[in-house]
Chains A and B, each alone.
Chain A
């Protein structure tokens, strides 16, 4: 919209370094289709609304207990055309999978099928209340039950807790099942072993669940050090949390051996299932000795990431842990009725040891409908193909880059769904960050950077299965180009990106004097 530009850009600013050499300076700050957009609070008005509602009858009696909100709230509104334009213009400053290749390792940015969106919006799913009488929501409970069946079958596990709201919430659910199981047998062990390469959520979750966290090292080939793990096992170790395939993109080939050792020592095995998409339909974690594993429906089963959620993190459980799963859950009886088992009916369904409740209602229904739609579309054969193509694409990138880019575990054998690189050969002080920013100028969302922590300047590239060979070849060409510049010490890379809506942002300044809300 044509409101005053308050973004800080001034026409007299030099753009010589911005990559628009020779182009004219514009009075709006816009650059053709690259449009500046003020903050809502700079363009909205307190007396404007985009919703037609009855005017307030000031004389109408109220029963608000004398607590009327007299002072201004400080909100502003826009009409519908202004609202649509404001957010559409903002959207254009974002990169999304729909725009291009998004190889953010460990996050699994695959195409989000639009049928999933359409199904989630059917009024029969979108417009029902979680506390309606269960007789009026049988279809919804069937969705949960059907998805649960798929998840149990695909993982070869005994049960599943559907209510966790995202991956980290699922981790918490699994770890609380372990706490409950230990408590039930009067076992006070409280140490959880977490590999150095684990997602930050693993140690945070274990600590949040009241455990003490200890690191276990990785081997030079990028896997958990089995000997170190075994040496640390003992009567104080409650569980291990292992990501498989791991965050170095490798399958933990000794997983079964580790799981057996942990079980023999009286502990439980938590598997971080963030990377289940690499093996879905090919390998069942239940065959590897897993006791609990969360599944990120927004990764493996392609519910949209939405700029940071919502996710959904059902947790599959072994026979040993399933009795401790939280409330509520669904159960189908012989008469075909699907029940919502809550605190009061738990005994009736033989589930008396639940560790409690993780959330107010039954979980991320909107994500369940999308994930089930995705699963039914792919079927057992399509899901297997998903894993195979994801792994094929990642290995193709690994082998197309390893001649010029340090690939620390390239000799460890094939990778799974993601390829890991490091920045040790870059010159002139250039680092992974510079390559990432250089890729932005090339029109790509960068890979995951500086994770996992076990590799210096880590670059974790996850192509997923929904990219064509042409798209991947094009990326490899661009990636090689930027890497070559980093190897040669191209100074210009330190200022990248040049062509994005914003140049490098001052993150240190943001943290030093936090400005977290609009003032004015």
Chain B
């Protein structure tokens, strides 16, 4: 077995040292009923690298690879070009095979990187402090709600109808068991986000109002009035961002008065990976809230010789110290994804991020204009960054999507899949465009969409 260095001679010598005659002497504490007489039945035996690779490649070949077809999916996961050096760095064994930096003297690489990551995220979000990552955007969203209930000592969270429905579902799942009250709604199907209704739902019992920016339909709005309304009632504004590249073009949530900003960092460095692992980002605008934050925090300090160094800090918030009184139960987070994000963001810098955002927006504008010309198709949005909603004629969007896939185009995400049973959204299609989209891809989508709609009319 290529991964197991002990030889039978070694094993015998070691058993002798231990004073055991056979390996099963070391498993004497396993009760009789649970002892097995050999390898578990019905499972294959070990296999060579070549054989395993063959099997896995066969499975991989059954999937339609995003990069091989015109591709327009988003809804919380975006396909961006990841520079080659990102993967080279995250595969360095010193990063890949290290663990949580419990021994800071020999983990400065991870720790300094986390300090840089925290700084990048805080600045991107217009916040003071970011943590060292959470699992993904959806779990970060729940952590933000939980933190808001601790800060305000209130138990009601108001969710915007245009929050990603899966994020809302995660929040509602958790709240059901923590006894928090969640007020949610369906998205208004309008050209601009409908903020008046949302503001009207904030009351004196509200811990926080949660708004996605850009929202699930790709729309963007100035959230300053929501922040003001929330603050007037003593509530916090939580802003959720699922596309960090957008913040290279549009105002940061912090600038608009968000108290907690959370999001998905997958766009930078991480890749699509069928939904995970992703990267939960979490930041607060006001440093006074730091001690209520969930997850790991890296801080600057000095060593015994006076040299600058970094450590995990404020761990009295965390489960391994506070146990049942911790701010969260999280332990392992998304360290390597945070590294990928940081390397990608370092390569971009402010200049590159702004150019990347501009290119995404330019292509998205092109796509919106072209698709609006398809008979039976309307663009819902007034404003958008790189994702917008189409209202389709003909059959429901999910069927159109399947039909487009058969025509070799991954045409977007049908809102009917995200909001099953909501008739008003059955014909809505969410289209995302990034720098990886070519003008030919856009033309192809327009043509196939037109053909697909015609077929049903």
Known: A360-B167, A360-B170. Is A468-B5 also a contact (CB below 8 A)?
yes
* A7 contact set on B, CB distance < 8 A: 307-308
Instruction: Count how many chain A residues have C-beta atoms less than 8 Å from C-beta atoms of the other chain.
Output: 214
Known: A104-B102, A123-B67, A307-B98. Is A510-B274 also a contact (CB below 8 A)?
no
Task: Assess whether A77 is in contact with B4, with CB atoms less than 8 Å apart.
Answer: no
* A343 contact set on B, CB distance < 8 A: 169, 420
Chain B window 5-18, contacts with chain A (Cβ cutoff 8 Å), 1 for yes, 0 for no = 11100110111011
CA A342 – CA B95 in complex, angstroms?
36
Chain A window 50-63, contacts with chain B (Cβ cutoff 8 Å), 1 for yes, 0 for no = 11011111001111
Is A335 part of the binding interface, using a Cβ–Cβ cutoff of 8 Å? no
The one of B53, B138, B350 that contacts A72, using a Cβ cutoff of 8 Å: B350
Task: Assess whether B336 is in contact with A307, with CB atoms less than 8 Å apart.
Answer: yes
- For residues 35 through 94 of chain A, which have their beta carbon under 8 Å from a beta carbon of chain B? 37, 39-41, 44-51, 53-57, 60-69, 71-78, 80, 83-84, 86-88, 90-94
Chain A window 449-481, contacts with chain B (Cβ cutoff 8 Å), 1 for yes, 0 for no = 001000000000000011111010000000000
Is A349 part of the binding interface, using a Cβ–Cβ cutoff of 8 Å? no
* A111 contact set on B, CB distance < 8 A: 3
Known: A344-B421, A358-B170, A392-B14. Is A46-B307 also a contact (CB below 8 A)?
no
- The residue in A129, A284, A355, A378 that gathers the most chain B C-beta atoms within 10 A of its C-beta is A129
Task: Assess whether B331 is in contact with A166, with CB atoms less than 8 Å apart.
Answer: yes
Is A236 part of the binding interface, using a Cβ–Cβ cutoff of 8 Å? no
The one of B26, B133, B192, B274 that contacts A137, using a Cβ cutoff of 8 Å: B274
The one of B11, B62, B95, B112 that contacts A39, using a Cβ cutoff of 8 Å: B112
Task: Assess whether B105 is in contact with A505, with CB atoms less than 8 Å apart.
Answer: yes
* A436 contact set on B, CB distance < 8 A: 103
CA A56 – CA B352 in complex, angstroms?
10
Task: Assess whether A50 is in contact with B352, with CB atoms less than 8 Å apart.
Answer: yes
- Interface segment among A261-269, A422-430, A512-520: the answer is A512-520
The one of A115, A344, A437, A511 that contacts B52, using a Cβ cutoff of 8 Å: A115
- For residues 79 through 118 of chain A, which have their beta carbon under 8 Å from a beta carbon of chain B? 80, 83-84, 86-88, 90-99, 102, 104, 107, 109, 111-113, 115, 117-118
Task: Assess whether A253 is in contact with B31, with CB atoms less than 8 Å apart.
Answer: yes
Known: A112-B97, A119-B53, A392-B26. Is A93-B332 also a contact (CB below 8 A)?
no
Chain B window 78-92, contacts with chain A (Cβ cutoff 8 Å), 1 for yes, 0 for no = 010001010111111
Task: Assess whether B52 is in contact with A377, with CB atoms less than 8 Å apart.
Answer: yes
The number of A-B residue pairs with CB atoms under 8 Å apart is 743
CA A413 – CA B26 in complex, angstroms?
8
Task: Assess whether A124 is in contact with B59, with CB atoms less than 8 Å apart.
Answer: yes
Task: Assess whether A140 is in contact with B63, with CB atoms less than 8 Å apart.
Answer: yes
- For residue A205, which residue of chain B has the nearest CB? B329
Is A210 part of the binding interface, using a Cβ–Cβ cutoff of 8 Å? yes
Instruction: Count how many chain B residues have C-beta atoms less than 8 Å from C-beta atoms of the other chain.
Output: 216
* B59 contact set on A, CB distance < 8 A: 124, 139-140, 142-143, 146
* B225 contact set on A, CB distance < 8 A: none
CB distance from A489 to the nearest CB of B (A): 20
CA A253 – CA B65 in complex, angstroms?
49
Chain B window 96-131, contacts with chain A (Cβ cutoff 8 Å), 1 for yes, 0 for no = 111111111111111011011011101110001110
Known: A205-B329, A308-B335, A366-B273. Is A288-B34 also a contact (CB below 8 A)?
yes
Task: Assess whether A504 is in contact with B365, with CB atoms less than 8 Å apart.
Answer: no
Is A159 part of the binding interface, using a Cβ–Cβ cutoff of 8 Å? no
Task: Assess whether A133 is in contact with B405, with CB atoms less than 8 Å apart.
Answer: yes
- For residue B34, which residue of chain A has the nearest CB? A287
Is B362 part of the binding interface, using a Cβ–Cβ cutoff of 8 Å? yes
Task: Assess whether A514 is in contact with B313, with CB atoms less than 8 Å apart.
Answer: yes
Chain B window 43-83, contacts with chain A (Cβ cutoff 8 Å), 1 for yes, 0 for no = 11111010111011111111111111001010111010001
Known: A87-B89, A251-B30. Is A115-B49 also a contact (CB below 8 A)?
yes
Is B383 part of the binding interface, using a Cβ–Cβ cutoff of 8 Å? yes
* A482 contact set on B, CB distance < 8 A: none
* B105 contact set on A, CB distance < 8 A: 437, 440, 497, 500-505
Task: Assess whether A8 is in contact with B63, with CB atoms less than 8 Å apart.
Answer: no
* B94 contact set on A, CB distance < 8 A: 91-96, 98-99
Task: Assess whether B119 is in contact with A518, with CB atoms less than 8 Å apart.
Answer: yes
Is A13 part of the binding interface, using a Cβ–Cβ cutoff of 8 Å? yes
CA A377 – CA B45 in complex, angstroms?
8
CA A394 – CA B154 in complex, angstroms?
49
CA A365 – CA B71 in complex, angstroms?
20
- The residue in B58, B135, B170 that gathers the most chain A C-beta atoms within 10 A of its C-beta is B135
The one of A44, A166, A298, A355 that contacts B346, using a Cβ cutoff of 8 Å: A44
- For residue A49, which residue of chain B has the nearest CB? B352
Is A369 part of the binding interface, using a Cβ–Cβ cutoff of 8 Å? yes
- Interface segment among B230-238, B295-303, B448-456: the answer is B295-303
CA A137 – CA B119 in complex, angstroms?
37
CA A395 – CA B306 in complex, angstroms?
41
* B139 contact set on A, CB distance < 8 A: 165, 169, 358-359
Task: Assess whether A92 is in contact with B273, with CB atoms less than 8 Å apart.
Answer: no
Is B355 part of the binding interface, using a Cβ–Cβ cutoff of 8 Å? yes
* B40 contact set on A, CB distance < 8 A: 153-154, 281, 284, 380, 384
CB distance from A490 to the nearest CB of B (A): 17
CA A255 – CA B68 in complex, angstroms?
52
- Can you report 9 A-B residue pairs in the complex whose CB atoms are below 8 A from each other? A18-B305, A109-B97, A117-B96, A124-B63, A176-B173, A308-B133, A380-B40, A468-B10, A517-B119
Q: A57-B362, A99-B93, A505-B301 are in contact. List 8 more A-B contacts (CB 8 A).
A: A50-B346, A54-B359, A63-B383, A77-B347, A153-B43, A256-B33, A366-B276, A395-B20
